[in-house]
């Protein structure tokens, strides 16, 4: 379980400055650029929620049900990692909010980023063929190597999956990359119980507004000619971490539909 900032640092894509702020090692990195906006919104929402229902630290420490849940997460859900030193204790608002935000991030935005782009990218079989039906050129023998040199495209096509095999893969990728017809998107679904609590309802409205601001920022970056990794010839706009714009009737390609509240396949 890893929060986005820690993930970026571990992979060498970001560093912590002396003031505690995160600095990307590659400035034009769409996943990190958009993801950090979403992460910050999630973290703020989680912290506001936690501070409302647990006014003081003692309330967190003394919540037996909460502590038992966290113990189960660590010892049952991740038994092979239960003794790792990086597990936080749920002993204050920050640690609890960080744990909840990480779960929310992994099951919503992170999954959207790695899932809904599968078909648009791998659906073109030459981009990511699922198998090869011939040996590598250096293993073909003299005759086959000669054929490869004379007609490389034909040999490559003969190496790719057959049309039948490709069709099966395409069907699976399309299914995996599709949104449910009744999908609930981040920042659009208000739980009935929140309506009974004015403070939480207001906090959710602020979270909702932040997701709309992220939509505007993502659209701005996607139209910026200086953003070479998401704009220009041969590039497609990066919309995998673009939240829903709140209009479910607006037809969009799969990647633009929004970030689901949780993993759904």
Please give the Cα distance from 95 to 225 (Å, whole number). 40
Residue 252, both tokens: 């969009």
Pairing of strands 22-24, 14-16: antiparallel
Residue 247's contacts (CB-CB under 8 Å, 6 or more residues apart) are none
Instruction: Evaluate whether residue 264 is within a structural domain.
Output: no
Distances (CA, A) of 226 to 24, 50, 51, 199: 17, 39, 40, 41
pLDDT for the residue numbered 250:
61
pLDDT for the residue numbered 210:
96
Instruction: Evaluate whether residue 261 is within a structural domain.
Output: no
Helix (H, G, I), strand (E, B) or coil at 19: coil
Whether residue 219 sits in one domain with residue 88: yes
Instruction: Evaluate whether residue 204 is within a structural domain.
Output: yes
Tens-place pLDDT, residues 123-181: 888 888 888 888 877 777 788 888 888 898 888 888 899 899 999 999 998 888 888 88
Instruction: Evaluate whether residue 22 is within a structural domain.
Output: yes
List the beta bridge partners of residue 15: 23
Cβ atoms 184, 258 nearer than 8 A: no
Tens-place pLDDT, residues 181-192: 888 899 988 888
**240: containing domain:** 4-117+177-256
Residue 88 burial (10 A CB sphere; 0-12, 13-18, 19+) = middle
pLDDT for the residue numbered 132:
84
Q: What is the 3-state secondary structure (H, E, C) of 137-201?
A: HHHCCHHHHHHHHHCHHHHHHHHCCCHHHHHHHHHHHHHHCCCCCCCCECCCCCCHHHHHCHHHH
CATH code of the domain covering residue 69? 1.20.245.10
Whether residue 184 sits in one domain with residue 54: yes
Q: Which of 186, 168, 182, 172 is nearest to 118 (CA)?
A: 172
pLDDT for the residue numbered 259:
94
Has residue 255 got a pLDDT over 80?
A: no
The tally of domains found in the chain comes to: 2
Q: Which residue has the tokens 């030193």?
A: 85
Please give the Cα distance from 154 to 108 (Å, whole number). 42
Phi-psi region of 232 (alpha: psi -120 to 50; beta: other; left: phi over 0): left
Has residue 247 got a pLDDT over 80?
A: no
Q: Which of 199, 185, 187, 207 is nearest to 46 (CA)?
A: 207
Instruction: Evaluate whether residue 265 is within a structural domain.
Output: no
Residue 225's contacts (CB-CB under 8 Å, 6 or more residues apart) are 231, 232
pLDDT for the residue numbered 221:
97
Element housing 24 (H / E): strand 22-24
Helix (H, G, I), strand (E, B) or coil at 114: helix
- Report the mean per-residue pLDDT for the chain: 91
Whether residue 96 sits in one domain with residue 73: yes
Cβ atoms 108, 242 nearer than 8 A: no
Tens-place pLDDT, residues 74-97: 999 999 999 999 899 999 999 999
Whether residue 22 sits in one domain with residue 86: yes
Residue 223, both tokens: 């139209």
């Amino acid at each position: 379980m890893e929060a986005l900032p820690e993930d970026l640092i571990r992979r060498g894509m970001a560093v912590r400055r002396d003031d505690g702020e995160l600095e990307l090692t590659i400035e034009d990195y769409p996943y990190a650029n958009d993801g950090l906006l979403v992460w910050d919104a999630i973290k703020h929402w989680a912290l506001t929620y936690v501070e409302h229902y647990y006014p003081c630290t003692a309330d967190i420490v003394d919540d037996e049900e909460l502590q038992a849940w966290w113990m189960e997460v660590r010892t049952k859900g991740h038994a092979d990692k239960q003794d790792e030193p990086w597990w936080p204790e749920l002993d204050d608002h920050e640690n609890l909010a960080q744990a909840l935000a990480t779960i929310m991030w992994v099951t919503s935005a992170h999954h959207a980023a790695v899932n809904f782009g599968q078909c648009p990218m791998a659906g073109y079989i030459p981009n990511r063929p699922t198998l090869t039906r011939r040996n590598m050129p250096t293993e073909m023998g003299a005759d086959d190597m000669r054929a490869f040199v004379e007609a490389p495209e034909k040999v490559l096509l003969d190496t790719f999956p057959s049309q039948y095999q490709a069709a099966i893969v395409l069907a699976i990728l399309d299914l995996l990359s599709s949104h449910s017809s009744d999908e609930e998107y981040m920042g659009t679904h208000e739980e009935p119980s929140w309506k009974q609590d004015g403070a939480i309802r207001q906090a959710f409205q602020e979270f909702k507004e932040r997701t709309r601001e992220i939509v505007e920022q993502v659209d701005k970056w996607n139209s910026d000619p200086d953003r070479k990794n998401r704009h220009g010839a041969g590039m497609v706009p990066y919309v995998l971490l673009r939240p829903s714009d709140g209009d479910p009737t607006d037809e969009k390609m799969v990647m633009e539909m929004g970030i689901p509240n949780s993993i759904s396949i």
